[in-house]
């Protein structure tokens, strides 16, 4: 690990760069290293869609190594949706192929006058003209680049029309169907006129201690095969199976989180997907779990199409969130989001918001331009996806994100999001720990800063059977911190979070030590995760976030009980958990204390944020 590219689009300059061993050891790679670089290099207050922003395309020290679930990469930037530091993780093949091209990551800064793409070829790098690609969708862009170079061993990450049109939740898509989805990283690339990054090469990463690495890998494989989630549910049924379980638990957000049970959820769940549209399972590079699904909606359907997904979050976002139970239209919306380059979670969340705004009279008929915005309209979820990508009519408002859309109609309380990013597919009133995670996420409404559902529902966490009562608040702050710190490290190695149903910090330490030759213990791994979480928090505070003020959820969750179903009458008891969480974190009102930052070797951050 250690060879990076710095691309200055304003001068068309490319140079190779290395970071100090202390920084690499201390922040690992991926998310951690990205946060460190941006904390040091970004001035506070910059516009995320200006040339002053930077976006990092990152791998980690175990990316592309022969251990399972190491096929991931991430982008790190200041988000145009939330204004926070923001990393977005993705699977597929692109991550390892970026590593094989000879580079561990790319720092992209400045802005180009004309569309360009980055071409990384076995140790060499060029900025190439992308004018003929501008305007093409993700699939066309990928196919054209591969065809132009005449080599199927190329992998491509790119933006679609949504990124070009600066939709604030535009995704970076890779391998056509995989997404660095959340937070609008696609718009950041679009603002820099970077259409794509194409990679090729045969430079496999070296392993410093092959014996230790193999020993740890064998253990990881064994544990993945022992745990039910990773050996049975995900491989055989995919993530879509969660539709059935979360709905049965009474925590499946429906019609913009107005309730938490969807009466026809079974029409869109994993069992139905398996029986109707599923072609086969698919895994990312180096994956033995293979949770991905390839599906097809037949040609005779008005919603015909094919591709990867829809996954659980996408199904929820276009199904219960919008009141739609037609799996074909939901799948079509999913394929479209991939082709146009959109975050499926945000897209569905905001269609649901638009539907509630319409049904309550905030959005008038004229503004819909002929799209019937009543909950349940299976056409609307497809039509609004197109209109958002191309910023047409109401789509232009949606493209600005939930806060802007809801504020425009003086109904901010109806946007179900945190720090500007829409909430995903679990009602926080039904899963107290998960709700605390939503509130305290550094990147806004997110289920993957800490997947507390693993403990509150699935019951498998790092190879142990842990079953926490989802309705209780006791112990949740402690567990949330564990998850957040572990995932900070996980996103930096980079390893798929599904590994964490089966393994944890001890195995991560083994993989890191084996890959790099630097000694890491499980405690070191968790400490680095904690450091990353604190530096992210300091970044946000430096940007003007206050801490406790933004660590909250819409009133719907704090004051309106779930109206029906198994979790009827429950609200999120945030107040019972937040103070304890801050105490465990060593924060005061959501701001890291001087002592905590000193403990984590982040003294400069302490000065920057005035503590």
In 3D space, the residue among 57, 76, 49, 75 whose CA is nearest the CA of residue 192 turns out to be 49
x/- map, 260-299, other proteins, by CB under 8 A: ------x---xx-------------------x--------
List 42, 116, 172, 234, residue binding other proteins (CB under 8 A) = 234
Instruction: Write the binding mask 498 to 537 for other proteins: x where contact by CB under 8 A, - elsewhere.
Output: x--x------------------------------------
User: Is residue 236 close enough to count as binding other proteins by CB under 8 A?
Assistant: yes
Q: Which of 325, 460, 536, 550 binds other proteins (CB under 8 A)?
A: 460
User: Residue 42's closest CA among 606, 543, 421?
Assistant: 543
Q: What's the closest the beta carbon of residue 8 comes to other proteins, in angstroms?
A: 35
Taking alpha carbons only, the member of 454, 529, 532 closest to residue 499 is 454
Bridge-partner residues for 194, per DSSP? 116
**Residue 608 sits in the site that holds other proteins (CB under 8 A):** no
Question: Which strands form 13-17's sheet, in the order they lie side by side?
Answer: 13-17, 4-8, 105-109, 54-58, 73-78, 85-90
CB of 21 to other proteins, least distance (A): 35
Residues 569 and 398: their CA atoms lie apart, in Å, by 32
Q: What's the min distance (Å) between Cβ of 546 and other proteins?
A: 30
Please compute Rg for the chain using Cα positions: 22
Determine the size of the site formed for other proteins (CB under 8 A).
43
The nearer residue to other proteins, 245 or 412, going by C-beta atoms, is 245
* Rounded distance between C-alpha atoms, residue 555 and residue 545, angstroms: 20
Of 74-82, 227-235, 387-395, 404-412: span binding other proteins (CB under 8 A)? 227-235
Q: How far is the CB of 368 from other proteins (least distance, A)?
A: 31
Asked if residue 448 binds other proteins (CB under 8 A), the reply is yes
Q: Which of 33, 74, 187, 229 binds other proteins (CB under 8 A)?
A: 229
Distance, CA of 372 to CA of 351 (rounded, Å)? 12
Among 210, 469, 474, 523, binds other proteins (CB under 8 A): 469
What are the structure tokens assigned to 592, written together? 């890291």
Residue 568 CB, nearest approach to other proteins (Å): 9
Burial class from Cβ neighbours inside 10 Å (0-12, 13-18, 19+) for residue 268 reads buried
**Residue 359 found at the interface with other proteins (CB under 8 A):** no
Residues 6+ apart with CB under 8 A from 555: 413
Nearest distance from residue 309's CB to other proteins, in Å? 10
With respect to other proteins, which residue has the nearer C-beta, 37 or 453?
453
Q: CB under 8 Å to 245, separation ≥6 — which residues?
A: 457
Q: Exposure pattern of 186-204 as b/e (b: 16+ CB <10 Å)?
A: bbbbbbbbbbbbbbbbeee
Contacting other proteins within 324-353 (CB under 8 A): none
- Residue number with CB closer to other proteins (324 or 562): 562
User: 559: burial class by Cβ within 10 Å (0-12, 13-18, 19+)?
Assistant: exposed
Residue from 227, 439, 511, 600 binding other proteins (CB under 8 A):
227
Q: Per-residue x/- marks for other proteins, 541-570, CB under 8 A?
A: ------------------------xxx---
Task: Report the C-alpha gap between 107 and 128 in whole angstroms.
Answer: 17
Query: Judged by CB under 8 A, does residue 399 bind other proteins?
Result: no
Compare residues 212 and 245 and give the one whose CB is closer to other proteins.
245
Residues 181 and 166: beta-carbon distance below 8 Å: no
Compute the least distance from the CB of residue 335 to other proteins, in Å. 18
Using the contact rule CB under 8 A, the part of the chain among 233-241, 356-364, 432-440, 512-520 near other proteins is 233-241
Shortest Cβ distance from residue 19 to other proteins (Å)?
31
- Each as own residue / partner, the long-range contacts of residues 124-128 (CB below 8 Å, 24 or more positions apart, any chain) are 125/5, 125/7, 125/14, 126/14, 127/7, 127/9, 127/12, 127/14
Cα–Cα distance for residue pair 396/533, rounded to 1 Å: 34
Indicate whether 238 belongs to the interface with other proteins (CB under 8 A).
yes
By CB under 8 A, is residue 119 in contact with other proteins?
Answer: no
Stretch near other proteins under the rule CB under 8 A, chosen from 34-42, 228-236, 318-326, 392-400: 228-236
- C-beta of 248 vs 543, nearer to other proteins: 248
Interacting residue with other proteins among 145, 198, 458, 503 (CB under 8 A): 458
- Output the 3-class SS for 149-217: HCCCCCEEEECCHHHHCCCCCECEEECCCEEECCCCHHHHHHHCCEEEEEEECCCCCCCCCHHHHHHHH
174: its two tokens: 């890779």
The smaller minimum CB distance to other proteins, of residues 193 and 567, is found at 567
Closest of 441, 532, 377, 390 to residue 38, by C-alpha: 532
Query: Are residues 397 and 404 in contact, defined by beta-carbon separation less than 8 angstroms?
Result: yes
Q: x/- string (CB under 8 A) for other proteins, residues 304-323?
A: -------xxx----------
Q: Which of 176, 179, 186, 181 is nearest to 307 (CA)?
A: 176
Q: Does 222 bind other proteins (CB under 8 A)?
A: no
Q: Which helix (H) or strand (E) holds 76?
A: strand 73-78
CB of 261 to other proteins, least distance (A): 9
Q: Between 565 and 594, how does the x/- string for binding to other proteins read (CB under 8 A)?
A: xxx---------------------------
Of the candidates 238, 287, 592, 223, which has an alpha carbon nearest to the alpha carbon of residue 442? 592
Q: Closest Cα to residue 186, out of 395, 300, 338?
A: 338
Q: Per-residue string for binding with other proteins, 147-176, x by CB under 8 A?
A: ------------------------------
Q: How far apart are the C-alpha atoms of 306 and 298, rounded to whole Å?
A: 8
106 near other proteins (CB under 8 A): no
Give least dist CB 571 to other proteins, A: 17
391 contributes a contact to other proteins by CB under 8 A: no
| Contact residues: other proteins, CB under 8 A | 227-229, 232-234, 236-239, 241-242, 244-245, 248-250, 266, 270-271, 291, 311-313, 424, 447-448, 451, 453-454, 457-460, 465, 467, 469, 471, 498, 501, 565-567
């Amino acid at each position: 690990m250690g060879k990076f590219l710095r691309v200055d689009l304003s001068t068309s300059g490319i140079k190779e760069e290395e970071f100090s061993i202390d920084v690499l050891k201390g922040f690992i790679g991926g998310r951690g290293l990205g946060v460190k670089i941006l904390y040091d290099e970004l001035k506070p207050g910059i516009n995320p869609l200006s040339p002053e922003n930077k976006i990092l395309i990152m791998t980690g020290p175990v990316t592309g190594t022969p251990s399972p679930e190491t096929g991931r990469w991430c982008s790190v930037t200041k988000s145009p949706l939330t204004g926070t530091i923001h990393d977005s993780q993705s699977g597929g093949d692109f991550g390892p192929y970026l590593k094989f091209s000879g580079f561990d990551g790319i720092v992209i800064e400045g802005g180009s006058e004309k569309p360009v793409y980055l071409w990384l070829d076995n140790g060499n790098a060029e900025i190439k003209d992308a004018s003929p690609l501008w305007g093409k969708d993700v699939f066309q862009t990928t196919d054209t680049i591969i065809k132009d170079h005449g080599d199927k061993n190329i992998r491509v990450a790119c933006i679609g029309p949504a990124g070009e049109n600066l939709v604030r939740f535009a995704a970076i898509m890779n391998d056509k169907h995989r997404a660095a989805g959340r937070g609008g990283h696609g718009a950041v690339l679009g603002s820099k006129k970077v259409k794509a990054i194409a990679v090729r090469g045969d430079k496999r990463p070296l392993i410093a201690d092959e014996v230790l690495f193999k020993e740890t890998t064998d253990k990881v494989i064994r544990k993945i095969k022992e745990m039910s989630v990773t050996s049975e549910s995900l491989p055989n049924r995919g993530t879509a199976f969660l539709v059935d379980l979360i709905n049965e638990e009474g925590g499946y957000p429906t019609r913009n989180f107005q309730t938490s049970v969807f009466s026809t959820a079974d029409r869109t769940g994993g069992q139905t997907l398996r029986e109707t549209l599923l072609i086969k399972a698919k895994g990312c590079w180096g994956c033995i779990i293979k949770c991905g699904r390839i599906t097809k909606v037949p040609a005779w359907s008005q919603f015909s199409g094919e591709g990867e997904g829809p996954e659980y979050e996408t199904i929820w976002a276009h199904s219960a969130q919008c009141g739609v139970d037609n799996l074909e239209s939901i799948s079509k919306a999913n394929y479209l989001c991939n082709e146009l380059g959109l975050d499926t979670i945000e897209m569905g969340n905001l269609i649901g918001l638009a539907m509630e705004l319409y049904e309550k009279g905030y959005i008038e008929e004229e503004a819909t331009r002929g799209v019937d915005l009543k909950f349940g309209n299976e056409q609307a979820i497809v039509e609004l996806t197109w209109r958002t990508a191309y910023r047409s009519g109401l789509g232009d408002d949606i493209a600005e994100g939930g806060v802007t859309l809801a504020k425009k109609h003086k109904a901010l309380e109806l946007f179900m999001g945190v720090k500007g990013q829409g909430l995903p597919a679990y009602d926080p009133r039904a899963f107290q720990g998960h709700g605390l995670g939503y509130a305290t996420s550094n990147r806004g409404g997110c289920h993957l800063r800490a997947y507390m559902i693993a403990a509150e529902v699935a019951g498998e966490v790092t190879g142990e059977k842990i079953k926490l009562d989802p309705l209780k608040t006791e112990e949740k702050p402690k567990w949330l911190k564990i998850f957040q710190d572990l995932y900070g490290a996980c996103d930096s190695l980079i390893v798929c979070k599904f590994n964490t149903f089966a393994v944890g910090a001890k195995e991560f330490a083994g993989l890191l030590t084996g890959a790099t030759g630097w000694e890491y213990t499980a405690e070191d791994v968790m400490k680095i995760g904690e450091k990353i979480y604190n530096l992210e928090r300091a970044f946000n505070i430096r940007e003007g976030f206050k801490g406790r003020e933004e660590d909250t959820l819409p009133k719907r969750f704090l004051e309106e009980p779930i109206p029906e179903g198994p979790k009827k009458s429950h609200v999120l008891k945030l107040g019972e958990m937040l103070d304890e969480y801050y105490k465990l974190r060593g924060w005061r009102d959501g701001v890291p204390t001087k002592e905590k930052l000193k403990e984590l070797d982040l003294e400069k951050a302490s000065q920057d944020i005035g503590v």
